[in-house]
Amino acid sequence: MDNLYNYILTIADNCLILGQRLGELCGHGPSLETDIAVTNISLDLIGQTRSYYQYAAEIEGKGRTEDDIAFLRLEKEYKNCLLVEQPNEHFGYVIGRQYLWDTYHYLFLSELQGSADEILAAIAKKAIKEVSYHKRFSGDWVKRLGDGTNESRGKMQEAICDLWPYVDELFDMTGVGTDLIENRVAVDLSALKEAYYEQVFELLSEATLDVPERKYFIYGGKKGVHSEHLGYLLTDLQYMQRAYPNMEW
């Protein structure tokens, strides 16, 4: 059961951290329409997080709640990948991070729908409908920014290059017990890799963007070794629960 609990966190923490990052942007987007879309994606991700954590709390069986899991862990106990915690430097980064994540997320959920664990399969079935919209939104914007003006192409390319080192960690199997793979509960991430790179290369090329150098990648988030950005994100996230412990809201 420990393995399953940990496995759920490796999925859900990504949704929580990215949902939180996007929540920072509310009211500050480049247009009202993008503001609404980004808030909506954040809301979807927080909703998915809740479904996963509620299930995790249940199988842990220690009487903890979704909020205990979301708010009361140490930084190294969060198992999200480094990509999703990267900051909102400018809208190109927001879109780049989103597209690189959504493409993975969609492939991942497509497989998780067939999980032998019925609850995970059900969460995936619901989430994939939302994520197919996220992917369309972020992919369309990569194309607009890449193939828009010279300035926007430069900014989009900058974001893709800066975020690229974090991409390969998506397929790292840390936190996925071999028993879960054997029992067909967990998704074999290495099997998603080829389709992922194929789709991303195709879209980047359509967006007139260069595919960055693939040689050097950075890993760590899934082991709890994060970038310097996560601590600040958690400071905001956890503020109320830390300042007013053991209360209901």
Partner 1 sequence: MSENEVKNLEDIFEARIARDEKIEPKDWMPEKYRKTHIRQISQHAHSEIVGMLPEGNWITRAPSLRRKAALLAKVQDEAGHGLYLYSACETLGISREELYDQLHTGKAKYSSIFNYPTLTWADMGAIGWLVDGAAIINQVPLCNTSYGPYARAMVRVCKEESFHQRQGFESLLKLCKGTPAQKEMAQDALNRWWWPSLMMFGPTDDESTHTEQSMKWKLKRKTNDELRQQFVDQTVPQAEILGINIPDPDLKWNAERKHYDFGEINWDEFWQVVKGHGPCNKKRIKDRVGAWERGAWVRDAALAYSDKKELGEQTESKIAS
Taking the complex as a whole, the smallest distance from the CB of residue 38 to partner 1 amounts, in Å, to 10
89 binding partner 1? (CB under 8 A): no
Residues constituting the chain? 249
Which of 3, 34, 113, 183 contacts partner 1 by CB under 8 A?
A: 34
Tokens of 172: 């790292």
How many chain residues interact with partner 1 (CB under 8 A)? 48
* Angstrom distances, CA of residue 97 to CA of 5, 55, 212: 27, 27, 14
Contact window for partner 1 (CB under 8 A) among 99-107, 126-134, 196-204, 239-247: 239-247
Residue 77 DSSP code: G
Which of 4, 84, 127, 145 contacts partner 1 by CB under 8 A?
A: 145
Taking the complex as a whole, the smallest distance from the CB of residue 226 to partner 1 amounts, in Å, to 17
90 binding partner 1? (CB under 8 A): yes
Per CB under 8 A, which of residues 46..75 are in contact with partner 1?
Answer: 46-47, 49-50, 53, 66-67, 70-71
Nearest to 188, CA basis, from 73, 81, 107: 107
Alpha carbon distance 248, 232 (integer Å): 24
236 binding partner 1? (CB under 8 A): yes
223 binding partner 1? (CB under 8 A): no
Taking the complex as a whole, the smallest distance from the CB of residue 83 to partner 1 amounts, in Å, to 19
Tokens of 205: 């090329």
Alpha carbon distance 187, 164 (integer Å): 23
DSSP string, 11-37: HHHHHHHHHHHHHTTTT-SSSHHHHHH
Which of 3, 5, 6, 23 contacts partner 1 by CB under 8 A?
A: 23
167: Cβ contacts below 8 Å, ≥ 6 apart: 83, 100, 200, 217
Contact window for partner 1 (CB under 8 A) among 105-113, 131-139, 167-175, 232-240: 232-240
Q: Which residue has the tokens 């007013």?
A: 244
* Interacting residue ranges for partner 1, rule: CB under 8 A: 20, 23-24, 26-36, 39-40, 42-43, 46-47, 49-50, 53, 66-67, 70-71, 90-91, 143-145, 147-149, 151-152, 155, 233, 236-237, 239-241, 244, 247-249
